[in-house]
Structure 1
Amino acid sequence: MKKIFWIVGLVFTLLVTQVAAAKTIVLVHGAFADGSTWSKIIPTLRAAGHKVIAVQNHLTSLADDAATTNRALDNISEKVLLVGHSYGGAVISEVGNRDNVGGLVYVAAFAPEENQSPGEATAGYPPAPGLGELTIDSAGFATLTEKGMNEYFAQDVDSDMQGIMSSTQGPTAAAIFATKLTNAAWKNKPTTYIVAENDFMIQPDAQRDFAKRMNATTLSLATSHVPMISKPTEVAAAILAAAELMPDSKSK
């Protein structure tokens, strides 16, 4: 497994240097969230010259969310870097075999095999502590309690942002975690994996094993489940590095 040795000079070079050829970066949020979870890194990606699209998942089913991402990809001719957080990793795994996808970035994310659900992908690990703070309504949609958000989902984020995240979280159909994927695009595309070492929603051991299995370029950060909020500089730098390695040519 390739390791990235991040130094200050590299981070600042990536942040201030315009890339030779702009790419499109499509950001796919996870469960109990919405597209605003990318708000701290979008300005940096745009400043580097990239077009950025943050999809808004319905969180009703994997099929619905895959369709949402596919609609975004349908309108893009240049190469795309797909970035998925948490459950968004299952979404980019499902749709990422498209010709116009040049690479995948997983941010504290599920990376199931084909015919495997996100729940099955983490079944061999101790239950993540934050899962005990989910409440499920009569329609089968789960939400995270404020305690869950503050202590397990985003424990290293300031209280104002925690409040925003609690208020804007998308209720998530619990069934999506039991839905089996039909594709595992990480087997066919260059991948980067950002491990959140203090994650209480997806066990860090599972994340490290996902990264090792896909032979991903790997960055480990001492963060909660939301490194793109608590460590946006480092996460943006990793995404920019992955984008720079993609081919410049348009998809066929």
Structure 2
Amino acid sequence: MYLLLKRYLTSALLLGSVFALHAAHAAPPQDLKGTNVVLVHGAFADGSSWDRVIPLLEARGLHVVSVQNPLSSLADDTAATRRAIEQQTGPVVLVGHSWGGFVITQAGDDDKVKALVYVAALVPDSGASVNDMMKNQPAPVWAGELRKDSANFLTLSTNAVINDFAQDLPTAQARVLATTQGPWFAGCLDDKVSIAAWHTKPSWFVVADQDRMIDPRAEEAMAREIGATTIHVDSSHVAMLSHPKAVADAIIAAASKGVVTK
């Protein structure tokens, strides 16, 4: 009788542990309602760059805004981003792709901004421009595919978008990106950041390991320089389109750790 009772109690304990473990795994993910995400696109793009990431963020309760940058100057893009931040109630995770890294570095000094997320982005220090960061570096292949109009705005050739900008997307989709790209004013290359928010804000960096627009080794070096939490993705420059879950996870981590724990 004693042995039977002992076996029964042991089985009950084991079953209880299994059920408890199952319940823990079945628990809903943390609701991040009350936290805002402001997404900033880069050159040759627009706010729709984030359309695969936005639903994943909203599913976690985050309020999301995608900025439409005029791409006419660092000052203009920063102003557009600051207006978006101003409209938010509560803490903000500020996310920038490519040239958007310059924009969030400048605009991220706002008190509402609690974390920065760089996605295959350029991360300048105070006083630096794109040309400053690129000097003494060999010109990338895609630079020869730039087209400049009479107003000094730059666009990428369809060939460059397919082969260098978004080479891991279906060709048809890459062609759409080429057709809908946002022209980038050439003067942006010399615009200098006056303040670098990453000095005072926690940062995350998604390194695109197959990036042909920005050298992945440079991305990793920038992430290391700013002390960012780094995530590597086997992606082209447009990681938010080809690997949206990985990018969303990085933003969610920033919202969970960089904002909620403050």
TM-score normalised per structure 2: 0.86
Give 1:203 deviation, angstroms: 1.4
Number of the residue aligned with 1:7: none
Provide the C-alpha distance between the structure 1 equivalents of 2:254 and 2:260, rounded to a whole number of angstroms: 12
Q: Does 1:38 pair with 2:13?
A: no
Contact kept, 8 Å, 1:197 with 1:221, in 2: the verdict is yes
Counterpart code for 1:240: I
Counterpart code for 1:51: H
How is 1:124-163 mapped onto 2 (pairs within 5 angstroms)? 124-163=136-175
The match for 1:25 among 37, 62, 66 is 37
Provide the C-alpha distance between the structure 1 equivalents of 2:158 and 2:74, rounded to a whole number of angstroms: 25
Q: Does 1:232 pair with 2:241?
A: no
**Unpaired stretches in structure 1, ≥5 consecutive residues:** 1-12
Runs of at least 4 residues off by over 4 Å: none
> Structure 1 pair 248/198, CA: closer, same or farther in 2 (3 Å)?
closer
Number of the residue aligned with 2:101: 89
Number of the residue aligned with 2:178: 166
Provide the C-alpha distance between the structure 2 equivalents of 1:226 and 1:127, rounded to a whole number of angstroms: 20
Provide the C-alpha distance between the structure 2 equivalents of 1:119 and 1:106, rounded to a whole number of angstroms: 19
> Structure 1 pair 234/200, CA: closer, same or farther in 2 (3 Å)?
same
Q: Whose radius of gyration is greater, 1 or 2?
A: 2
Give 1:95 deviation, angstroms: 0.8
Q: Does 1:63 pair with 2:75?
A: yes
Contact kept, 8 Å, 2:33 with 2:60, in 1: the verdict is no
Contact kept, 8 Å, 2:33 with 2:63, in 1: the verdict is no
Counterpart code for 1:53: V
Provide the C-alpha distance between the structure 2 equivalents of 1:87 and 1:45, rounded to a whole number of angstroms: 22
Structure with more of its chain in helix, by fraction: 2
Number of the residue aligned with 1:241: 253
> Structure 1 pair 109/83, CA: closer, same or farther in 2 (3 Å)?
same
Per-residue deviation, residues 6-34 of structure 1 (Å, max 9, x unmatched): xxxxxxx8xx7242543100000000000
**Unpaired stretches in structure 2, ≥5 consecutive residues:** 1-24
Counterpart code for 1:78: G
Provide the C-alpha distance between the structure 2 equivalents of 1:216 and 1:43, rounded to a whole number of angstroms: 25
Provide the C-alpha distance between the structure 1 equivalents of 2:111 and 2:205, rounded to a whole number of angstroms: 21
Provide the C-alpha distance between the structure 1 equivalents of 2:227 and 2:176, rounded to a whole number of angstroms: 35
Deviates more, 1:197-206 or 1:119-128: 119-128
Give 1:120 deviation, angstroms: 1.3
Counterpart code for 1:215: G
Contact kept, 8 Å, 1:111 with 1:118, in 2: the verdict is no
Q: How many residues are aligned here? A: 236
The alignment's C-alpha RMSD in Å is 1.6
Secondary structure of the structure 1 residue equivalent to 2:128: coil
Counterpart code for 1:157: L
Answer 1 or 2: higher relative contact order, Cα 8 Å, separation at least 6: 1
**What is the identity percentage for the equivalent residue pairs of Structure 1 and Structure 2?**
44
Give 1:160 deviation, angstroms: 2.4
Number of the residue aligned with 1:102: 114
